[in-house]
Amino acid sequence: MPNNYFKFKQFTVFQDKCAMKVGTDGVLLGAWANCNESIRVLDIGTGTGLISLMIAQRSNAQINALEIDAEACDQANQNILKSPWGSRINVIHRSIQEYTVESDLKYDLIVSNPPYFQNSLFAPDEKRTKARHNSDFEYEDLIKASLKFLNTNGVLSIILPYLEGTMFILQAAESGLFCIRQTNVLPNPGREPKRLLLEFMKIKKPLVEQELIIELNKRHQYSEAYKNLTKDFYLAF
């Protein structure tokens, strides 16, 4: 059984009411997304509130955090209110489809760790299924929302498995959302990338492509690049 909470350097994330627990993907995105100059941020599918909390720690932005699941909303709210940044993060119980219709706000940054298992077997638990699969969430919904909500110079930052990420890049470009930064995440040196950290804009720019190795040749022997990226959050670094 996963722990009911995950403690970071400046905040704690309780997760017993959320289908998807704290994981490496969310931490990577929260640490990697470019939020230095962001004034307003939208977190799509906030879950425990992890990425919103990380962005709040790294910036002075006001953050709206969308979550479709009522219990996850409640838990995200509790995590945020117990953090140092409760006044800057607003949890909204809405699907991205509903919010796209209802809101006309503009954002400097949109972040999302979206569901991605499109064709695999569903998990037995319905809530976990909704969190992990895109049965209620299509990539086109995220693209449509980004095109509507991003400022002229705003960015969308996401993390996806390699195959789904390459598909998303093509689909987004067809709609006028262009990948400008891509970090290929490798579990070990010499291995194929397992995840893609991706940044998109409505303005076409030359792609900046990088590589991030998580572990070296021994288990829990983390690369300096990974430690530098996450050291403000993980207690171990």
Annotation: CATH topology of 10-230: Rossmann fold (3.40.50)
How far apart are the C-alpha atoms of 161 and 89, rounded to whole Å? 28
Provide the pLDDT for residue 137: 67
149 Cβ contact list (under 8 Å, min separation 6) = 42, 100, 103, 105, 106, 107, 110
Provide the pLDDT for residue 3: 74
Q: Which residues of the chain have pLDDT under 50?
A: 1, 117-135
Provide the pLDDT for residue 115: 81
* Nearest CA-CA partner of 41 in 157, 175, 168, 160: 157
Task: Give Cα separations from 4 to 14, 81, 119, 124 (angstroms).
Answer: 6, 17, 29, 20
How far apart are the C-alpha atoms of 63 and 56, rounded to whole Å? 8
Provide the pLDDT for residue 74: 97
Q: Which two tokens stand for residue 174?
A: 């067809």
Provide the pLDDT for residue 119: 41
Task: Give Cα separations from 110 to 105, 141, 169, 173 (angstroms).
Answer: 12, 13, 16, 17
